[in-house]
Structure 1
Amino acid sequence: MSKTLKFIDLFAGLGGFHHALAKLGLRNGEVNFECVFASELKEDLRKLYKANFPGTPIYGDITQILPSQIPAHDILCAGFPCQPFSQA
């Protein structure tokens, strides 16, 4: 019997954490991972995230989200700003 763990994806970028957990769930088989909330500031990345992970709610600026709007979750994923690495 598989267990589902819910996660949120903050500063999501194009969804690296989401992709990794989805792959891990497929390989493991005992645990499934469900993204219940994502947040990304940049509109172009939100569009890409939405295309890659349809059905996952993705929001903009996390500072404009009330804590009560974030669903219950088991895991919090958060990317650190990657711009310095992208520009390098």
Structure 2
Amino acid sequence: MLKITDLFCGIGGIRLDLEQTFNHRNVECFFSSEINPYSVKTYQANFPNTLIFGDIAKIKTQDIPDHDVLLAGFPCQPFSQAG
């Protein structure tokens, strides 16, 4: 089982690519974090059984579970408030 953590997950594109690479077998996401409420809604629609933790700045390091792969998105330039 490949355990993943999905930070700055946006709508879940990076996770979807990884899961499709493994044909949705032996991949389980144990932790997801996203701050944008619209992205969270879309992520939940794409992955309905996933609990999404909010602002990563408010999460303690020890609360992030052990994982084999750390996914981390980057701001989408045309849409991000971060630029």
TM-score in terms of structure 1 length: 0.81
- Identity across matched positions, percent: 46
Pairs within 5 Å for 1:57-68: 57-68=51-62
Higher helix share: 1
Indicate the residue corresponding to 2:6 in structure 1. 9
Shift, 1:85, TM fit: 4.0
**Pairs aligned (count):** 80
Pairs within 5 Å for 1:1-88: 4-26=1-23, 32-82=26-76, 84-86=77-79
**Which consecutive unaligned segments of at least 5 residues does structure 2 have?**
none
**Which consecutive unaligned segments of at least 5 residues does structure 1 have?**
none
RMSD: 1.7
Report runs of 4+ in structure 1 exceeding 2 Å deviation. Answer: none
TM-score in terms of structure 2 length: 0.85
CA deviation digits over 1:14-56, x for unaligned, max 9?
Answer: 00111011111118x6xx2111111111011111111110121
